[in-house]
Chains A and B, each alone.
Chain A
Amino acid sequence: MTRLSRRDFLKISAIGVGSLTLGQFLSACTQALSTTPPPTANPVSPAPPTSTPFAPVIQASKAAALPPTGTAPPPSYPDLVVARIGEPEALVRQALAALGGLGRFVPSGANVIVKPNICVAHPYQYAATTNPWVVGTLVKMCFEAGAGSVRVMDYPFGCPAEEGYATSGIREQVEAAGGEMAYMTPLFKYVKTPIPDGVDLKEIEVYEDILKADVLINVPIAKDHSSTRLTLGMKNLMGVILNRNTMHVNLGQRIADLTSLIRPRLTVVDAVRILVANGPSGGGDLNNVKKIDTVIVSPDIVAADSYATTLFENIQPTDIQYIAKAAAMGLGRMDIQNLVVKDISAAGG
């Protein structure tokens, strides 16, 4: 074996460092060149990343493409399903069956990201994080629908991700279902992305995989929130961005702006347990947790959030700023009384 002399080592290192620098320089050049057009192929296109041939109802990411108020959607499927009977898995399965099956939203071979709310490290009983079985069932159903890969991820604010994944119980269920718990790191994968329809927020750094996924399924837990009153589907999208604290200067509008960029194909609101006070972290006091065994499913994130407000006392959709702003931007509908809602309750329907 020949030994590497220091001179050779330095040469090799110099070549290595030089080529890395050159690579960085070149990539900087391409970035500089592409400032006018969007930096990558798809992130800012208003439609969801794929061509969505399989999801006729919600291919629309823009309200314009949604059926206008009053017009019935394709007759067979409701706008929103709420299931209120049974264990979490049964709730999710019933709700999605009523919506025409997950296959409507997850094309075979799709790269799916499921985004639960794992903001802190509390066991799921405290209703600070999404119910693990709701997440696990969705992962299972994605595979049943033929998904190519299913990854579950969030970026907790109150703990390291590993800890949140484990303590919430979500890791266990996701891995049992064959899914992957992925981390929203490294930080350089957050790409600055313009928000063409943003009213106040014009650009934001978003985790690249979220932008690149074929299908994003949003699985918030419905709970009390100190700044926005409730955290639901749209608020849950704040998990895919890095700098959340500057959102707060105009939180309602900025969440709506973010929603105009990140368009989950399906929103599944977990209300198996809801946290009615001291959100979003909760923890410590089970008296603030109400078990109501409910799951709300809709391709319309605004409708799902609007309906979820009715689970709480004395809250109307209009009381939640981000719902009102998003509806005003045409991102979805908050007039739940006019929606076709299928309520699977009592009779076990």
Chain B
Amino acid sequence: MESLKGIKKRGVKKNRKGQPEGPWVTARKAVQYSTLLFFIVLFIWSQRDGWPANVVDVPVRLDPLLMLSHLIASRTFLAGSALALIVLLLTLVFGRAWCGWICPLGTTLDLFPLRRRDGRRRAPAEGWRSVKYTLLLIILVAALFGNLTLLFLDPLTIWFRTMTVSIWPAADQVITAVESVLYQAPILAGPVSNLDQWLRPVLLPTSPAYYRDTLLFAGIFLGVIALNLFAPRFWCRYLCPLGGLLGVLSKVALFKRQVNEECTGCVLCSEVCPTGTIDPARGYRSDPGECTLCMDCVETCPRGLEAFKPAISFAEWKEYDPGRREALVAIGTAAAAVALFRSDLLARRESPFLLRPPGARENNPDVVAYTKCTRCGECMRTCPTNALQPSVFESGVEGFGSPVLVMRLGFCDYSCNACGQVCPVQAIPPLELSEKRVQVIGRAIIDQNRCIPWSDHRPCVVCLEMCPLPQKAVQVEDTQVWSPDGGSVTLQMPHVVRELCIGCGICEYQCPVSGEAAIRVFSPQAPVQS
């Protein structure tokens, strides 16, 4: 029998990043990269004229945390959410394999291991593992009170939101910048032009997409990655609420890691485990609630003494696993937070700029609570004009990450109903185009102090020209006014017919007045001109 010292000296097969190699690890990585690619492809083709909405939604529907909390908060069961049962079932058989093999955020974290220069990482105390369970419980209890705010911390919503709001627009900027430089070279102008004609409709927005607070959302994402500096997969170990949900189920998972009694305690598996759950002090056993089945330990063990085998058993309940304390903290926090949200100004009088996607208001009488939106961001991705943006201020802390229309950055395309089709939980109802066209998103109001004909006495009725309604909501009245050049001039003065306006916002988007538009869409419930 080889000595322990010999094993340590010889080491195990590792790649240059120091990660173990072997058939299981290769298989895991193959699955990880192909599912990541699949998620990216789904993301790319989730725009209009891409793949059907029910395909695009698959990742969100697979997410048991989103589906469960939506079920609790909205008190409605959606047939599509049954897909999440697949993941639950998978977890009952294989434990947190979702985290190790499928989750796009987990794979992203594996791609950026971020070793510190001195090679040391200081993982926080084991007790920190309970944070994810506490978060999970807060989410579920808050959902009971009709609140889904913290779903912005679900790994899928983080990943998709960041892709939509930060990564893709930034990638577009980079690609366009490179193109525009290459385009200057006469020989390259033609090929660059052709490349762009092919690339842009498939991958990139026609005109650059702008999102408010894109840095904030990118920052959250980078922060999650940066935590890898303290411990590999810090997010998955300590914070991820979905990981918490799957972790609890993993306690009774069929396949569990088992260590042969011949183990000599070489410590290699314990060192290599990305979730740090292999405990030398307890005979190198691990907690199935923490294990992501990455198979690193199996490939690392020099004697092949570790394996995942089926066994019906209930794993040991650890110190950090959720207990009465976590439950009390969660109930207290959730109740206090919801009570405070209800005491907020926004609960009494909503922001005048809270413009929800078409039809969402009818579907959600309590728009501030927004009891259905899982913050998945599919609507923002699919919106062809980038009008839909994650809310940061309009609906307060409570509505953080829920969709609002920002008309200066985009408008609600009169011939588009994509957001309702793609919403996995029908927070935005799946309306026919004809139904969607009569939904009142808001009302446009002209600021006569800034409007060019009203204030400068110069012609401009872009708003009228843009209004897409069959019976235009912007109408003009010929008015004789003094001319800036002296004398008098007859001008078309625009007015909005409130009863006709649906608040699609194309007038605000196209208004040539710089800065804030001179015509602006206000929430239909805003206390103005009532």
Instruction: Point out residues on A near B: beta carbons under 8 Å.
Output: 3, 20, 23-24, 27, 120-122, 157-163, 166-167, 182-183, 185-189, 209, 225-227, 245-246, 248-251, 278, 280-285, 288
Asked whether B49 lies within 8 Å of A166 as measured between CB atoms, the reply is yes
If A163-B416, A245-B460, A283-B470 are given as contacts, then 18 extra A-B residue pairs at C-beta distance below 8 Å, sorted by A number, are A3-B16, A23-B181, A27-B181, A120-B415, A121-B415, A159-B384, A159-B415, A160-B384, A162-B49, A162-B201, A162-B206, A163-B49, A167-B415, A183-B201, A185-B200, A186-B179, A248-B465, A288-B470
* Distance between B477 CB and nearest chain A CB, rounded to angstroms: 13
Asked whether A281 lies within 8 Å of B468 as measured between CB atoms, the reply is yes
Q: Is the interface of B mostly helix, strand, loop or mixed?
A: loop
Residue B449 CB within 8 A of the other chain: no
Chain A residues closer than 8 Å to B200, beta-carbon distance: 183, 185-186
Asked whether A250 lies within 8 Å of B201 as measured between CB atoms, the reply is no
Asked whether A245 lies within 8 Å of B510 as measured between CB atoms, the reply is yes
Q: A283-B468, A283-B470 are in contact. Are A158 and B413 (CB under 8 A)?
A: yes
* Distance between A187 CB and nearest chain B CB, rounded to angstroms: 6
Asked whether A187 lies within 8 Å of B208 as measured between CB atoms, the reply is yes
Instruction: Point out residues on B near A: beta carbons under 8 Å.
Output: 16, 48-49, 176, 178-185, 193, 196-197, 200-201, 206-208, 384-385, 413-416, 437, 452, 458-462, 464-472, 476, 506, 510-512
Nearest residue, chain B, Cβ from A251:
B459
Asked whether B206 lies within 8 Å of A20 as measured between CB atoms, the reply is no
* Distance between A248 CB and nearest chain B CB, rounded to angstroms: 4
Chain B residues closer than 8 Å to A186, beta-carbon distance: 176, 179-180, 196, 200
Q: A183-B197, A188-B180, A278-B471 are in contact. Are A163 and B384 (CB under 8 A)?
A: yes
Asked whether B183 lies within 8 Å of A245 as measured between CB atoms, the reply is no
Nearest 4 Cβ contacts at the A-B interface? A284-B470, A245-B512, A27-B184, A121-B415
Q: Which of A121, A157, A188, A278 contacts B179 (CB 8 A)?
A: A188
24 contacts between A and B (CB under 8 A): A27-B185, A122-B415, A158-B466, A159-B413, A160-B384, A162-B48, A163-B48, A163-B384, A163-B415, A163-B416, A185-B196, A186-B180, A188-B176, A188-B180, A209-B193, A226-B464, A226-B465, A226-B467, A245-B460, A248-B459, A281-B467, A283-B468, A284-B469, A285-B471
> With the chains together, A240 CA to B193 CA distance in Å?
17
> With the chains together, A285 CA to B384 CA distance in Å?
25
Q: A3-B16, A188-B176, A188-B183 are in contact. Are A120 and B193 (CB under 8 A)?
A: no
Q: A120-B414, A121-B413, A185-B206 are in contact. Are A278 and B472 (CB under 8 A)?
A: yes
Chain A residues closer than 8 Å to B16, beta-carbon distance: 3
Q: Which of B207, B470, B511 contacts A185 (CB 8 A)?
A: B207
Q: Which of B181, B464, B469 contacts A227 (CB 8 A)?
A: B464
Chain A residues closer than 8 Å to B471, beta-carbon distance: 278, 285
> With the chains together, A104 CA to B415 CA distance in Å?
39
Chain B residues closer than 8 Å to A182, beta-carbon distance: 197
- Find the residue from A120, A167, A245 having the highest chain B CB count within 10 A: A245
Chain B residues closer than 8 Å to A280, beta-carbon distance: 465
Asked whether A20 lies within 8 Å of B178 as measured between CB atoms, the reply is yes
* Distance between A84 CB and nearest chain B CB, rounded to angstroms: 28
> With the chains together, A285 CA to B469 CA distance in Å?
9
Q: Which of B181, B437, B452, B468 contacts A120 (CB 8 A)?
A: B468
* Distance between B509 CB and nearest chain A CB, rounded to angstroms: 9
